[in-house]
Amino acid sequence: MIGLLKIILKILPWLLVVLLLTLMLLEEKLSLDVITGGKDTYQSTILTRVEEMGNLELVKYNFQEVTEVKKAVDKIDFKFFKLPTSLAPDSRAVLISQGSAAGCIDLSAVRKEDIREDNYTLYVTLPAPNLCYFKIDLEKSRLYDLEISGIAKNDQKKFMEELYKVAEAEIKASALKMGILEQTRTNARLVLQPLFENLSNKPVIIKFRMDQSIILNQ
Which residue stretches of the chain have pLDDT < 50? Answer: 5, 9, 30-39, 76-87, 212-218
pLDDT of residue 143: 81
Of residues 171, 168, 143, the one with CA closest to residue 156: 143
213 CB burial (10 A radius; 0-12, 13-18, 19+): middle
pLDDT of residue 123: 93
pLDDT of residue 54: 82
Are the C-beta atoms of 138 and 95 separated by less than 8 Å? no
pTM for the whole structure: 0.65
The conformational region for residue 185 under phi > 0 = left, psi -120 to 50 = alpha, else beta, is alpha
Domain ranges of the chain: 1-33, 35-208
